[in-house]
């Protein structure tokens, strides 16, 4: 089973899911509260979101555990519940997954910095990520997805921790910003260096998510494709958030505009595609329709 997702990637373009946080808020998650606590307090709501994504065509959904590392949970005073919340996250997605579909254990950044910019050592980061990865694996994830990483050093800690704690395949996506010299992370890691180092450390798929809209992501995929033969992941934002007069948040790239660049993302070499901030099941449905037509 554990290699199943990689076999699927070899056969065809794999469809991931879209945003989780906004879906939770639409179901009443209060502003500022910890999304992961809903894995035990409102499990039906989380499972419902996963089921919606599978229903519209996702091959893989990501668990509600983006902020589930001990270090991140500590901001909500929930660090003692790290194992419980992550294992529950994986179980909920597993329960929603039809046979032959996959669960990716989502692992986001800690929100803290390594020394010298921050207080943490690489060992501390690696241990925190290993703990989260172990719990996601126990809960039934098929693959671990380390995502939205803005510091290559942190991403490598996460990757080492995840590989130490489980035998699951590990995928990693970085978040890159466009600067005059090309695409770089917040910490200044180039695309080439990021992908090469992640590959060397044992990532089985690499790529990018967040920050960029789908048009920009298509451009980044072309750059990434030249740097690695690993399967490539691309999950773009639906542009920038816009707050309407009534306080409702929409995104600058509407559904049609977003989906218009999906063929380009796939043609440019992305093997696993999905959405990030501002996307929802309707976006994934439209992407599924394109992939089927193809």
Partner 1 sequence: MIKETLYADMQKAIVDGDGAAAGRLAAEAAKSGLDLLEVIEKGYVPGLAKVGELWEQGEYFLPELISSAEAMKAAMAVLEPELRSARLKARTAGKAVIGTVEGDIHDIGKNLVASMLQAGGFEVFDLGADVKLEKFIEQAEAVGADFICLSALLTTTMANQRRLIELLKQKDLRAKYRVLVGGAPASQKWAEEIGADGYAENAVAAVKLAKSLNPVRS
Contact 277, 238 (CB under 8 A): yes
User: For residue 43, how far is the Cα from the chain centroid?
Assistant: 20
121 touches partner 1 by CB under 8 A: no
CA 20, CA 243: separation in Å to the nearest integer? 19
CA 294, CA 291: separation in Å to the nearest integer? 5
* DSSP-derived secondary structure letter, 271: S
Sign of the CA dihedral running 278, 213, 107, 271: positive
Residue in 123, 241, 267, 294 binding partner 1, rule: CB under 8 A: 241
CA 35, CA 32: separation in Å to the nearest integer? 9
In terms of Cβ atoms closer than 10 Å to its own Cβ (0-12, 13-18, 19+), residue 229 is exposed
3-state helix, strand, coil in the chain (%, to 5): 45, 20, 35
Helix (H, G, I), strand (E, B) or coil at 212: strand
Shortest Cβ 173–partner 1 spacing (Å): 17
Shortest Cβ 115–partner 1 spacing (Å): 11
Residue in 3, 41, 55, 117 binding partner 1, rule: CB under 8 A: 117
Element (H, E) at 23: helix 21-26
Region from 43-51, 123-131, 173-181, 255-263 binding partner 1, contact rule CB under 8 A: 173-181
26 touches partner 1 by CB under 8 A: no
Instruction: Specify the residue, 54 or 251, whose C-beta has the smaller distance to partner 1.
Output: 251
Region from 1-9, 127-135, 224-232, 239-247 binding partner 1, contact rule CB under 8 A: 239-247
242 touches partner 1 by CB under 8 A: yes
11 touches partner 1 by CB under 8 A: no
Number of residues near partner 1 (by CB under 8 A)? 25
40 touches partner 1 by CB under 8 A: no
Instruction: Specify the residue, 243 or 292, whose C-beta has the smaller distance to partner 1.
Output: 243
Shortest Cβ 97–partner 1 spacing (Å): 28
CA 272, CA 234: separation in Å to the nearest integer? 6
Instruction: Specify the residue, 80 or 249, whose C-beta has the smaller distance to partner 1.
Output: 249
Which x/- pattern over 142-171 shows residues binding partner 1 (rule: CB under 8 A)?
------------------------------
Instruction: Specify the residue, 15 or 174, whose C-beta has the smaller distance to partner 1.
Output: 174
CA 79, CA 81: separation in Å to the nearest integer? 5
Residue in 1, 44, 99, 243 binding partner 1, rule: CB under 8 A: 243
CA angle at 233 for the pair 231 and 238, rounded to the nearest 5°: 160
Interacting residues with partner 1 between 74 and 103 (CB under 8 A): 75-76
Helix (H, G, I), strand (E, B) or coil at 33: coil
Which x/- pattern over 175-214 shows residues binding partner 1 (rule: CB under 8 A)?
----xxxx-xxxxx--------------------------
Contact 144, 166 (CB under 8 A): yes
* Contact residues: partner 1, CB under 8 A: 22, 25, 31-32, 75-76, 111, 113, 116-117, 179-182, 184-188, 240-243, 247, 249
């Amino acid at each position: 089973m554990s290699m199943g997702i990689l076999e699927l990637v070899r056969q065809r373009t794999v469809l991931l899911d879209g945003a989780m946080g906004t879906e939770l808020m639409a179901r009443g998650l209060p502003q500022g509260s910890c999304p992961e606590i809903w894995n035990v307090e409102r499990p039906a709501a989380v499972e419902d979101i996963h089921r919606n994504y599978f229903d519209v065509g996702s091959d893989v959904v990501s668990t509600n555990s983006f902020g589930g590392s001990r270090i991140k949970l500590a901001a909500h005073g929930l660090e003692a519940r790290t194992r419980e919340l992550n294992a529950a996250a994986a179980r909920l997605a597993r329960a929603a997954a039809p046979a032959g579909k996959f669960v990716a254990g989502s692992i986001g950044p800690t929100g803290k910095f390594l020394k010298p910019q921050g207080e943490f050592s690489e060992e501390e980061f690696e241990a925190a990520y290993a703990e989260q990865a172990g719990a996601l694996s126990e809960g039934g994830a098929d693959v671990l997805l380390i995502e939205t990483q803005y510091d290559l050093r942190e991403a490598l800690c996460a990757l080492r921790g995840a590989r130490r704690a489980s035998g699951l395949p590990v995928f990693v996506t970085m978040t890159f910003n466009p600067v005059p010299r090309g695409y770089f992370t917040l910490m200044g890691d180039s695309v080439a260096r990021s992908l090469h180092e992640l590959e060397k450390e044992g990532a089985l798929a690499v790529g990018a998510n967040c920050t960029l809209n789908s048009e920009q992501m298509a451009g980044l995929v072309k750059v990434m494709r030249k740097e690695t033969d690993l399967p490539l992941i691309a999950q773009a934002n639906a542009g920038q958030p816009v707050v309407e007069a009534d306080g409702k948040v929409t995104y600058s790239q509407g559904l049609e505009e977003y989906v218009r660049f999906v063929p380009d993302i796939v043609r440019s070499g992305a093997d696993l595609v999905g959405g990030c901030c501002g996307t929802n099941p309707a976006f994934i449905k439209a992407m599924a329709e394109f992939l089927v037509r193809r």
